[in-house]
Amino acid sequence: MQFNLAITQEVIWVWVAAAVTLIVLVAGARLIVRSLATEGKFANLVDAMVEFVRTNIVEEFLGHHGKKWFGFFASLFFFILFANILGKLPAPVAGTREHPHFWLESPTANINVTAALAVLVFVIAQVVGLVKLGPAGYFKKKFLLPGAPWWVQPLAIIIMPIVLLAEPFSLAVRLFANMTAGHMVILTFATAQMVGGVWLSSHPNVLVKAGAALPFALSVVLLAFEYFVAFIQAFIFALLAALYLSESLEEHH
């Protein structure tokens, strides 16, 4: 069995996303602490985004536990957001130095990256559950059905592990599928619009030439929509991660 430890394009983009997350959060925090939030658009934006995560994710699902876990979920949200956004930029892939190919690719469009994030969330949630509830309480909460007849419990012990493992699977696949589908849609429509725009611009009729701007304008609209999707997918991932962790922190179902 061989392991490929080569530094791939996805690895580089993961590093870039992590670096951007660190720079943005640290720089924004310093400006906010210095009471410059009202004086700069950057600090205002970071402050608004951080407050969005605090209100709609951490406090909404973790309640009084939110303060302890806020840093983790803020980092998770911003990392996925920047990873999604960075994928909207042309990135060099297989090709030669003379004839490089370019492809719109995001590290979160790689199932290995999203699976790693999902496994991280899953492991943290289970460890927290074990510490909070103890082994017996954890087993009762995760693998039994409190209040159900005793004869249902053996069946629950078989089914509940599948339900439990479905959590990281759904996290990984949802983010991966949405980002991959988004790239495919953009590439398909943008290529068709580019060809159509070139054809219209070369047409002898002046009015037809003017219509060449429409396909390119549609490409811009589609790209803007993809940025919105990048934000929504980061929000959903962090939201579901907070939900799974809250279930481990609860004493009862």
pLDDT of residue 3: 58
Is the predicted pLDDT of residue 158 greater than 50, yes or no? yes
How far apart CA 231 and CA 6 sit, in angstroms, is 30
**Looking at residue 144, what is its pLDDT?**
74
- The larger pLDDT score, comparing residue 128 to residue 41, is at 128
Least confident range of 48-52, 64-68, 85-89, 185-189: 185-189
Please list, residue by residue across 85-105, b when 16 or more beta carbons sit within 10 angstroms of its beta carbon and e when fewer do: bbbbeebeeeeeeeeeeeebb
Residue 125 structure tokens: 């949630």
Give pLDDT, residue 251.
61
At 1, is the pLDDT very low, low, confident or very high (cuts 50, 70, 90)?
A: very low
User: What is the pLDDT confidence band of residue 241, given thresholds at 50, 70 and 90?
Assistant: very high
Residue 124 has a pLDDT of 92
Does 54 have pLDDT greater than 70?
A: yes
Q: What is the mean pLDDT of residues 71-89?
A: 87
- Greater model confidence, 100 or 86: 86
pLDDT of 238 reads: 93
* Sign, Cα dihedral of 54, 60, 63, 66: negative
Contact 146, 127 (CB under 8 A): no
Q: Are 183 and 105 within 8 A, CB to CB? A: yes
Q: How far is CA 29 from CA 17, 24, 37, 47, in A?
A: 18, 8, 9, 8
Q: Which of 183, 173, 179, 169 is closest to 232 using CA atoms?
A: 179
Q: Is the pLDDT of residue 117 over 90?
A: yes
The mean pLDDT of 26-53, rounded to a whole number, is: 75
Percent of all residues in the chain with a pLDDT value above 90, rounded to a whole number:
14
**Confidence check: pLDDT of 109 > 70:** yes
pLDDT of residue 121: 93
Q: Say if residue 145's pLDDT is above 90.
A: no
Q: What angle do CA 217, 219, 225 make, to 5 degrees?
A: 110
More confident residue, 178 or 41: 178
Q: What is the mean pLDDT of the chain?
A: 77
Task: Return the C-alpha torsion angle 166, 62, 146, 137, nearest 10.
Answer: 90
What is the arithmetic mean of pLDDT over 117-137?
88
C-alpha distances in angstroms, 145 versus 68, 156, 192, 240, 247? 29, 7, 54, 22, 14
Tens digit of each residue's pLDDT (9 = 90 or more) over 203-232: 556 555 556 666 667 777 777 888 888 899
Q: What is the pLDDT of residue 36?
A: 52
Single out the residue of 150, 78, 129 nearest to residue 108, CA to CA: 78
Q: Is the pLDDT of residue 112 over 60?
A: yes
Backbone torsions φ then ψ of 104, nearest 5 degrees? -80, 105
What is the average per-residue pLDDT within 42-61?
Answer: 85
